[in-house]
Amino acid sequence: MSRHPRRVIALVLAAGALLAALVLVGDVREVRDRLGGFHWWAFGVALALALANYFLRFLRWQLYLRDRKIVVPRGTSALVFVAGFSMAVTPGKLGELVKSYLLRQIAGIPVARSAAIVIAERVSDLLALLLLAAVGVGAYGIATEVAIATAVLLALAFVFLLWRRLGYA
* Stretch (H or E) spanning 139: helix 111-139
Buried-state track 17-33, b at ≥16 Cβ within 10 A, e below 16: eeeeeeeeeeeeeeeee
Residue 167 has what pLDDT? Answer: 66
End-to-end Cα spacing for the chain: 52
- Sequence ranges of the domains in the chain: 1-38, 39-165
Residue 21 has what pLDDT? Answer: 85
| pLDDT tens for the chain, residues 1 to 169 | 456 778 888 888 999 898 888 877 777 778 778 888 888 899 999 999 999 999 999 999 999 999 999 999 999 999 999 999 888 888 877 788 999 999 999 999 999 999 999 988 988 888 888 888 888 887 887 777 887 888 788 888 878 877 776 666 5
Check residue 88 and report its DSSP letter: T
